[in-house]
A = this chain, B = another copy of it.
Amino acid sequence: MSQKLRPEILQNRARILLSCPDRPGIVAETASFLYRQGANIVALDQYTTDPAGGLLFMRVEFDLPDLPAQKKALEAGFAEVARRLDMQWEIRYAADRKRIAVFVSTADHALLELLYQWKTGELAGDIVLVISNHETLRPAVEPFGLPYFYIPVTPETKPEAEARQIALLTEYRVDLLVLARYMQILSPEFVRRYPNRIINIHHSFLPAFVGARPYERAYARGVKLIGATAHYVTEELDEGPIIEQDVERVTHRADVATLKKIGRNIERIVLARAVQWHLEDRILTYQNKTIVFY
């Protein structure tokens, strides 16, 4: 789970994320490679889809003294290992805090939770940009010293709006987009630019109540639990890999406004968990699902 890392630790901390055809020797090779580099493994998690020959997913977190100077050697060296073992891989550096753009509309609760966690230093990344199709939340954002861009969206103006958004995302070198109750649907073209880099909070327990007005529909269905789901956005609405979900109990006494009030706390906390796991490089995806090493 998340531990705030001091800067001197952070700069020598990195993670290898890899997947490859499972076969004997992968842990040995990876761990031995790291050992020879002078690294100390602080966490290792793996998951194999089938011990008899499926896919192996691994996350190794390690400390390497003087890491900044060692990066080239580390990457060149591991590229060798990866080649031999047919790996897809990435090395992520904990000191390279991800830059986050938060998209909002008018609901503030999910955004406020992220701002709060960022302000306390707990969020393992940095919010650098807020984009909204409304002016409503500007007063909530600007006191944090963050740029707030109001980009309205209508069906006719969507391509231009998205072009503006993409330009800002590029300008601000954004690594992660967080849709914090952003009520516009991103076009497939937009989504394709950021595979597994857009996290949305959907205000229902997916796959129940995909799409619009989930609380109204939950109320109509008479469910006894409501929930929220954080997921990576794909081209199909609310169909992307689920990262985290949670629920809360309700009774017949809860009207739609009450469901929304209860749901608010689930939404913000589920989104914050998912975002933090992403920032800590704990999430791998496979067959439209996530493997979360927390």
Contacts and interface: CB of A to CB of B under 8 A. Distances in A.
Interface of A: 1-4, 22-28, 31-32, 34-35, 38-48, 51, 63, 109, 112, 116, 122, 205-209, 220-225, 227, 241-247, 249-255, 257-258, 261, 265, 269, 287-292, 294
A52 to B, nearest CB: 8
A247 B222 contact: no
A3 B205 contact: no
A250 B290 CA distance: 12
A261 B209 contact: no
Nearest to A122: B261
Contact of A225 (B26, B221, B247, B292): B247
A114 to B, nearest CB: 13
B206 A207 contact: no
Given A32-B31, A38-B24, A41-B24, A242 B223 contact: yes
What is the oligomeric copy number?
Answer: 4
Contacts of A255: 1, 3
B31 A222 contact: no
A183 to B, nearest CB: 18
A251 B245 CA distance: 11
A197 B257 CA distance: 28
Given A112-B116, A257-B3, A222 B241 contact: yes
Contact of A261 (B2, B22, B252): B2
Given A24-B40, A241-B222, A265 B269 contact: yes
A8 B109 CA distance: 29
Given A224-B245, A242-B224, A28 B34 contact: yes
A246 B250 CA distance: 11
